[in-house]
Structure 1
Amino acid sequence: MKYVKLFSFILVLLLAAGCSNSANETEHKIFVSAAASLSGPLNEIVDEFQKKYPDTVVTLHFGASGKLAQQIQQGAPVDVFLSADERRMDILAEQNMILADTRTIFTKNKLVLITNKNSDVSVESLEALSSTNLTQITVGNPESVPAGTYAKQALQNVGVWNELKGNFVFAKDARQVLTYVESGNTNLGFVYVSDLKRSDLVRGILEVDADLYEPIVYPAAVISTSENTEQAKTFISFLKSDQAQSILSNAGFGS
């Protein structure tokens, strides 16, 4: 099954890379696999990047960082990987699948507990979750979704993870967590502070103490098999430019 998914992913990239008769012969294409939580600002950043570098076309593919890392391990033709944590990037680095000198952190985030905007639910602490009557809490799958990993760390550190196990609804990425809470299908969800900027249908009820989980940082790196290394490096440099950082800040990212 994983090979079928990989084939589908590669097919999408190949179709996106199809050459038209009018294509500029000097045009370069780079494929960027990025954490789902970046989808809002990254689309805007790419628009600005291509205004400055019109000869480089960027194709974005979003998903859970763990799944994206697996696709790269399986040979997906990716030029740049933008992860929502260091762990998934470390895995690729250990296998020499990234160019070490291109690895850099380009933004940060924080974890927040949310509920539907029409809900009157209030939670004063993570410890209080174990004594509420709420039966459904959406969490990104900790095995593949960094937001879920951070949430698990926080809940373990206050001693309620095991107690709440039966209440969790696991999601495939941070965006799905948001969708579940927006729709009212679940009572609560753990997302990034930046996700609050993406939806008017939810509200934050508790910003999780940052001391309870590893720092949420977003590393970028060029994949070692990239055939467009210079363009990929240029894209990563642009991510750290004032222009791109302003877009990220407006979307709720950063310190």
Structure 2
Amino acid sequence: MRKLIWIWSSMTLLFLCSCASPSDSSETSIRIAAAASLKDVMEELTPLFEEQYNIEIETIYGGSGKLARQIEQGAPVDVFLSADLRWIELLKEQNLVEKDTYIEYATNRIVLIGDDSTRRLDTIQELNLKENEQLAVGNPESVPAGTYTKQALERIQLWSRLEDQIVFGSDVRQVLAYVESGQVDYGFVYASDAMISDKVITLTKVDHNLHDSIVYPGIVISKSRSKEQGQKFLTFLTSDRATEIYNAYGFNPMRGGKIEQ
């Protein structure tokens, strides 16, 4: 029986509760809704930006789809950093974002992870779960990493075969935590997530031709009271210092819409 696991983080609950009370310090602060896979990068970028511009940043993390739905419902967000294009397009269609602020600044790779006792694979086509084994995947309905994974597994006719043994996570970091804790045997996460953990190993990379291109875009929200500050942050994401940080955490930076090698 496939298990669907929804565990809301306390940070997300606090975020939802705050939706009715926008920040009163819009001149010196911005609120950013960021994909969970960006957490480590953001924790290094944020203090650098705050020091340079004297602008305080509050960041809320979660699955891109969940964050987009909260923005739809009026959550007081200034900048949205998604892990795919789909959710920003959804907000564009509703005129909820400033279209001329849109940027693409990094890309990533989907990998299969397990613990250090697990056999490495040449390709994901070799993935063959035993009857008692489980596989964690981000919920494809709201988690971009899950969407890419489902596309790849469907392309090679593996999704339907493994579906009953899949455990869904509410974001990619929850998938990583499931594998780290031994609750599941395998998981599909971004290469950047696997890189930060010393409790899992990368078993194989997913061929990028099996799914849509993985692009990290950012955009300013139309109802933001700090649009100028939000634009400064998006510009900062394309700086040389930010590029160094993306590389350090396993992302591939983009400049002018092209991936840096």
- TM-score by shorter chain over 0.5: yes
Q: Conserved in 2, the CA contact under 8 Å of 1:6 and 1:76?
A: no
**Stretches of structure 1 lacking an aligned partner (at least 5 in a row):** 20-25
Distance in 2 of aligned mates of 1:221 and 1:109: 19
Distance in 1 of aligned mates of 2:66 and 2:43: 20
Q: Conserved in 1, the CA contact under 8 Å of 2:27 and 2:226?
A: no
Report how far residue 130 of structure 1 moved: 4.0
Q: Conserved in 2, the CA contact under 8 Å of 1:107 and 1:218?
A: yes
Aligned to 1:9: 15
Report how far residue 127 of structure 1 moved: 2.3
The letter for the 1-side match of 2:36 is A
How many residues end up aligned between the 2 structures? 243
Report how far residue 192 of structure 1 moved: 0.4
Distance in 1 of aligned mates of 2:61 and 2:202: 24
Aligned to 1:22: none
Which shows bigger deviation, 9-18 or 242-251? 9-18
Q: Conserved in 2, the CA contact under 8 Å of 1:110 and 1:210?
A: yes
Aligned to 1:213: 211
Distance in 2 of aligned mates of 1:49 and 1:213: 33
- CA gap of 1:163–1:29, structure 2 versus 1, over 3 A, is same
- CA gap of 1:10–1:182, structure 2 versus 1, over 3 A, is closer
Distance in 2 of aligned mates of 1:167 and 1:242: 43
Aligned to 1:144: 142
1:41 aligns with 2:47: no
The letter for the 2-side match of 1:127 is Q
Report how far residue 220 of structure 1 moved: 0.1
Aligned to 2:121: 123
**1:54-69 alignment, distance < 5 Å:** 54=54, 56-69=55-68
Aligned to 2:5: none
Q: What's the TM-score, normalizing by structure 1?
A: 0.89
Report how far residue 11 of structure 1 moved: 3.9
- List per-residue Cα deviations over 1:122-178 (Å, max 9, x = no partner): 333322224655620000000010000000000001011111111100001000111
Aligned to 2:172: 174
- CA gap of 1:151–1:167, structure 2 versus 1, over 3 A, is same
Report how far residue 27 of structure 1 moved: 4.7
Report how far residue 63 of structure 1 moved: 0.3
**Which of 181, 184, 204 lines up with 2:182 in the alignment?**
184
Which shows bigger deviation, 165-174 or 5-14? 5-14
Aligned to 1:30: 30
Q: Conserved in 1, the CA contact under 8 Å of 2:129 and 2:162?
A: no
Aligned to 1:92: 91
The letter for the 2-side match of 1:84 is A
Q: What's the TM-score, normalizing by structure 2?
A: 0.87
1:230 aligns with 2:228: yes
- CA gap of 1:169–1:247, structure 2 versus 1, over 3 A, is same
The letter for the 2-side match of 1:35 is A
**Stretches of structure 2 lacking an aligned partner (at least 5 in a row):** 1-10, 253-258
The letter for the 2-side match of 1:38 is L
Distance in 2 of aligned mates of 1:210 and 1:14: 41
Aligned to 2:3: none
The letter for the 1-side match of 2:107 is K
More helix as a share of residues: 1
Distance in 2 of aligned mates of 1:194 and 1:127: 22
